[in-house]
Amino acid sequence: MAIALELRHLTKHYGSVKALNDFSHSFAKGQVHALLGKNGSGKSTFIKMLAGAVQPTSGEILVNGRTCNFAHPSDALKAGIVTVYQELSLVPHLSVAENIYLGRLPRHANTPFIDWPGLLRQAKALLDEMGAGDIDPAQPVSGLSIGRQQLVEIVKAMSLNPSILQLDEPTSALAQAEVQQLFSLVRRLRDRGVTIIYISHRLAELGEIADTVTALKDGHFTGSCPMADATPAVILEMMFGDITPVTRPPRPVAAGEPILSIRNLSVEPMLKNVSFDLHKGEVLGIAGMLGSGRTELLRAIYGAGPVDGGDILVDGKRIDNVSIPTMKRLGIGYTSEDRKESGLVQILSIHANLCLAAMQRFSHRGFVTEQRERSAVERQIQDLSIKIGSPALPVSSLSGGNQQKVVVGNWLNNTPRILLFDEPGRGVDVQAKQQIYQIIWSKALEGLSSIVVSTELEDLVECCDRILILRDGLITEEFVNDGLDPKTLYAACMARQTNP
């Protein structure tokens, strides 16, 4: 079989971090190749290199036998590689047709004027050809469902006539019916000879769509096999390898009255009927893949996002008005998954960022001085071992790990009883991540109850007492963490409910 894409010793280093190491492999033409790996496995780096967004440190990429050097994304397009990222890149208020031909709108011959009827005709023909003829090319993209938008994005990619199409988690935001439509489009493209690199976290759907499975782990190629041979055990082995179970110090099992209870919480369309309890001093993990509604769940509990139904009880009392001020007064804090966008005020000092949540506590009749805050700031810097020159420096000067500690320190200064951590380990190096889990752990011994939400299951196994699986908007399983194997968790997360 013809080889569409060949990699020779492909390597990418970021400073001392090896994102991808010596990746050599061949992808056959006209097949759907699933690429698997946990976060940090090097998948994203690989996609970006093929898309021309990142340049390899060493190694070669051969497309249809020709060596390629992608200095710029446009070079990759010219070589016939088109990438559809997880975040859609459509302009919401423009029509489907304009979005497909953005930057390449057809003109009336020899004039600068756009040929609108021609554009619609062209778009209609392309949509029909892709089996998406029910999408009106004149309609604004913003009126389409996410699944439809995903299809438009792929049609747009196909308008460039690629020989290789990269799809980065195309189904993560889709409902079941939409997944099927997407799959039929992918199959249609494959049958036309397009080679597809398909990245997904949903193991269950691979059997339906993929021809081969290739896995990366910690930047290394760990294996590849035809889908027919890829049993779940084989896949998990490739993704995780051997894991030594974490040994954790014994500690009393949290019991007694729950401090926080969630009853039948629903957030349309993500969560339906989520219920669980959190006890004093407990670290509760919630494992859920992208699009499982994990962030929505935490934000709903904290009063920072919409809620469509259900009750939140603190100390057994139902909270009527769930809002940030109310929840904060009850001793609840929330650290967002995105430090840059919503966790920290990047242009302010480290000092100021450590005093955001506790501002009211530090102030006396509205007045506040640095002097009054200093001891609290210094205590956090010491307790969390935040490495800094001076607290007066802007927080943006810190590394990701240290910034994350500032986020945590900001809340600890408000002496919370319950902290909700949304992906506390994201974008943080291994050592800092370990330290952050240590902090959560040690604060739990002092009585702090935490909920940690993460896609990184090994991390949950490392720091949580109990782990819930959030899947398809429901808590589907519960594990008491007693020498738990992350593979078990992964299988539980990935399994898809059988189609109704």
Partner 1 sequence: MTRSGTTFATFARRNSMLIILIALYILVAFTARGFMSIDNQLNILRTIAVPGMIAFGMTLLIIVGEIDLSVGSMVAASACVLAWLVSAISGGAFEPGVWHVVAAGVLTLAFGASIGIFNGWLRNRFMVPTFISSLAMMATLAGLANLITDGTPIESFPSWYYFIGSGRIFHVPFPVYLLLIAFIATHVLANYTSFGRSVYAIGGNAEAARLSGLHVNRTRTWCLAITSLFAVVGGIVYSSLLNSGNPTIAKGMELEVISAVIIGGVSLFGGKGSIWGAFVGVLFLGVLLNAMTLWGFNPYAQQVVRGVLILGAVFINLIIDRPKASHG
The DSSP element (H or E) to which 220 belongs, if any, is: strand 220-226
Q: Which residue has the tokens 């969630």?
A: 262
405 binds partner 1 (CB under 8 A): no
Spatial separation of the C-alpha atoms in residues 208 and 204, rounded to whole Å = 8
Interface pattern 344-363 for partner 1 (x via CB under 8 A): xxxxxx--x--xxx-xx-xx
Residue 156 structure tokens: 């747009």
Total Cβ atoms within 10 A of residue 97: 27
Give one word for 358, left, alpha or beta, with left for phi > 0 and alpha for psi -120 to 50.
alpha
**Extended beta strands in 30-75, E state:** 32-36, 58-63, 66-68
- Taking the CA atoms of residue 59, residue 82, residue 206 and residue 99 in that order, the dihedral angle to the nearest 10 degrees is 160
For the CB of residue 454, give the shortest distance to partner 1 in the complex, in Å: 18
With CB under 8 A, what is the number of residues at the site for partner 1?
A: 32
| Tokens, residue 51 | 């898309």
385 token code pair: 């071992």
| Residue 183 within binding range of partner 1, rule CB under 8 A | no
Only one of the segments 64-72, 196-204, 211-219, 321-329 lies at the binding site for partner 1 (rule: CB under 8 A); that segment is 321-329
At closest approach, how far in Å is the CB of 416 from partner 1?
Answer: 11
430 binding partner 1? (CB under 8 A): no
Task: Tell which one of 366, 389, 483, 500 touches partner 1 (CB under 8 A).
Answer: 366
Backbone angles phi, psi at 473, to 5 degrees: 80, 10
Q: Which of 258, 343, 425, 473 binds partner 1 (CB under 8 A)?
A: 343
Task: Decide: 328 and 339 in contact? Cβ < 8 Å.
Answer: no
Binding mask 29-68 for partner 1 (x = CB under 8 A): ----------------------------------------
Segment near partner 1 (CB under 8 A), from 8-16, 223-231, 340-348, 381-389? 340-348
Q: How far is 409 from 403, CA to CA, in rounded Å?
A: 10
Tokens of 148: 């439809």
Of 58-66, 157-165, 336-344, 438-446, the segment contacting partner 1 by CB under 8 A is 336-344
**Among the listed residues 198, 221, 240, 334, the single contact to partner 1 using CB under 8 A:** 334
Interface pick for partner 1 out of 208, 315, 370, 477 (rule CB under 8 A)? 370
**CB 362 to partner 1: min, Å:** 7
Binding flag, residue 410, partner 1 (CB under 8 A): yes
Length of the chain: 500
Residue 325 in contact with partner 1, rule: CB under 8 A: yes
Distance CA 281, CA 450 (A): 8
At closest approach, how far in Å is the CB of 244 from partner 1? 37
Could you give the 3-state DSSP secondary structure of residue 392? coil
User: What is the smallest separation between the CB atom of 301 and partner 1, expressed in angstroms?
Assistant: 13
The nearest distance, CB 365 to partner 1, in angstroms, is: 9
262 binds partner 1 (CB under 8 A): no
Question: Where does this chain touch partner 1 (CB under 8 A) — which range of 33-41, 138-146, 169-177, 334-342?
Answer: 334-342
Question: How far, in Å, CA of 306 to CA of 391, rounded?
Answer: 35
Closer residue to partner 1 in complex, CB, 198/302: 302
Minimum CB separation of residue 126 from partner 1 in Å reads 37
Q: Which of 368, 388, 474, 495 binds partner 1 (CB under 8 A)?
A: 368
CB closer to partner 1 out of 79 and 358? 358
User: Using CA atoms, how far apart are residues 497 and 294, in angstroms rounded to an integer?
Assistant: 18
The span from the CA of 160 to the CA of 154, in Å, is 10
| Gap between the Cα atoms of 20 and 18, Å rounded | 6
Percentages helix, strand, coil for the chain (3-state, rounded to 5) are 35, 25, 40
The gap between the terminal CA atoms of the chain, to the nearest Å, is 38
Residues 286-315 that bind partner 1 (CB under 8 A): 302, 304
Our finding on whether 369 is near partner 1 (CB under 8 A) is yes
Report the residue from 44, 336, 435, 450 that binds partner 1 according to the rule CB under 8 A: 336
Q: Which is nearer to partner 1, 160 or 359 (CB)?
A: 359
Q: Which residues bind partner 1 (CB under 8 A)?
A: 302, 304, 324-325, 328, 334, 336, 341-349, 352, 355-357, 359-360, 362-363, 366-370, 392, 394, 410
